[in-house]
Amino acid sequence: MISREQRTPFSEWWWTVDRVLLAAVIALMLGGVILSLAASPPVATRIGLDPFHFFNRHVMFLLPSFIVLIAVSFLSPLQIRRSALIVFAISVALILATLLIGPEVKGSRRWITLLGVNIQASESAKPAFVVLAAWLFSESARRPEMPATSMALALLMTLVSLLVLEPDFGQTMLILMVWGALFFIAGMRIIWALGLAGISAGGLFAAYLFVPHVAGRIKRFMNPASGDTFQVDTAMEAFSNGGWFGLGPGEGIAKRSLPDSHTDFVFAVGAEEFGIILCLALLALFAFIVIRTLSRAYASEDMFSRFASSGLAILFGIQAAINMSVNLQLIPAKGMTLPFISYGGSSMVSLAYGVGMMLALTRQRPRTEIDSLGNADAARGFA
């Protein structure tokens, strides 16, 4: 047992970190391993790779992810802010590089190969962006003389314009939603909230009008007979085939025909083989992680920690909710991975980075420390 008497960095971490939250995250990672074993071999076989190619890589990325998760959770809020700035800067540089030299896959440039690893720079940009935006909003509350809100808007515009250039509408939407949520939490007036909602509705409508594939997806959702709904149909069949307890490991058939069975539709594949019981358990884990973090944020005294941890939780929660809703045909099809469950190589490291920051920001800190931090900050700000 870790002693409370000696104040080593580790014992301090152990006694302040939200261990239940950490356990939930680890459980999610293990669930991801099991589902990867179920869902990825058929995909690998289909594209002519070793059946366990994706599974091996999934496990391979788990270790660095876990290290990143733990390491980041050791950081103090100040360190988090600084590291986020660095990560964001690198990510933006990488996105720019991707736009310039990245290969075009299915009509968009999202991937860049670095040291033999395919990297989607927008993935690592997301958590860093959330932390920076949260910092700016907290500053706007604390230091009125700083044009923090405008800076947050500028930050948003930078990332969104890069993502639109890729183009990656899914990530764009996610970023917009999280930014809006942060703005809302920071205290925006209801009238603006309604206005933002109206703008996003208008934006969606514009996308419907001017972007053909978005229009197609929405039409197919409203009226399944109007087009090819093979993926979602197969996913729905997987759910009803599975029933409560599933067909059993390896018995699923949806994974054989779903092209994205190991990424976007891993939830349906899991349902078919392990039953809706497993889906409910996963859902409970996601809900627990999100709501636990939000409640910690609610209790937090520090503005920045509160905004940043709730922003990260919202990012995590919305992404999971969108993926599950698409699988369940609750919303139109939108490519979005299920955090820690879907196969994602480098994106898992980014997720671990985000969740690590979540853990770090929800650590219990004595008030004095927060005060001194805040004051030190303030002092530095004036200096």
Partner 1 sequence: MTDQIVPLAGHHVPWRQRLIRSLLYGKDVDRNVKARARVGFAMVAFAAIYGVIAFRLVTLAVVGDSHGTRRTASQDYVATARPDIVDRNGEILATDVKVPSLFSEPRRIIDKDEAIELLTATLPDLDTPEVRERLSSKKGFAWLKREISPQQQQDIHKLGIPGIGFLRENKRVYPAGPAVSHLIGLVNIDNQGIAGLEKWLDTNGLADLHRAGFASDRLQKPVELAVDLRVEHALRDELIKAKDKYKAKAASGLVSNVNTGEIVAMVSLPDFDPNNPREVNDPDRINRLTTGVYEMGSTFKTLTLAMALDSGKANLNTLYDARGALHYGKFAIHDTHPLGRSITLSEVFTFSSNVGAARVALAQGVEAHKAFLKKVGQLDRLRTELPESASPIVPKRWVDLNTITIAFGHGIAVAPLQAVMGINAMINGGYLIPPTFLKRSQEEAREAGKRVVKKETSDKIRYLMRLNAEVGTAKQADLLSKGYYIGGKTGTSEKVVGGRYSKKQVLNSFTAILPADNPQFQVLVMLDEPKALPETHGFITSGWNAVPAGGKVIARIAPLLGIEPRFDLPPSDRLILAASKGSQ
Which chain residues interact with partner 1 by CB under 8 A? 140-145, 147, 149-150, 181, 184-189, 192, 236-237, 239-244, 253, 256-257, 271, 275-276, 279-280, 283, 286-287, 290-291, 294-295, 297-298, 301-303, 306-307, 310, 314, 317, 321, 324-325, 328, 330, 367, 371, 374, 378
Smallest separation, CB 239 to partner 1 (Å):
4
Nearer to partner 1, 34 or 253 (CB): 253
Q: Look at residues 181, 74, 92 and name the one whose alpha carbon lies nearest to residue 128.
A: 92
- Cα(181)–Cα(186) distance, integer angstroms: 8
Q: Residue 9, preceding bond cis, omega within 30 degrees?
A: no
266-274 vs 230-242: helix crossing angle, rounded to 10? 30
Smallest separation, CB 78 to partner 1 (Å):
16
Nearer to partner 1, 160 or 318 (CB): 318
Which residues, 6 or more positions from 279, have their beta carbon under 8 angstroms from its beta carbon? 239, 267, 270, 271
Smallest separation, CB 141 to partner 1 (Å):
5
Nearer to partner 1, 127 or 246 (CB): 246
Nearer to partner 1, 108 or 257 (CB): 257
Beta pairing partners, 117: 114
Smallest separation, CB 307 to partner 1 (Å):
7
Nearer to partner 1, 90 or 153 (CB): 153
Nearer to partner 1, 164 or 194 (CB): 194
Nearer to partner 1, 198 or 243 (CB): 243
Smallest separation, CB 302 to partner 1 (Å):
7
Which phi and psi angles does 278 have, rounded to 5°? -65, -40
As a whole number of Å, the end-to-end CA separation of the chain is: 44
Beta pairing partners, 108: 105
- Cα(72)–Cα(239) distance, integer angstroms: 37
- Report the 10 Å Cβ neighbour count for 144: 9
Smallest separation, CB 197 to partner 1 (Å):
13
- Cα(351)–Cα(337) distance, integer angstroms: 11
Nearer to partner 1, 104 or 145 (CB): 145
Smallest separation, CB 209 to partner 1 (Å):
27
H/E stretch holding 36 reads helix 19-46
- Cα(366)–Cα(373) distance, integer angstroms: 11
- Cα(143)–Cα(146) distance, integer angstroms: 6
Smallest separation, CB 226 to partner 1 (Å):
19
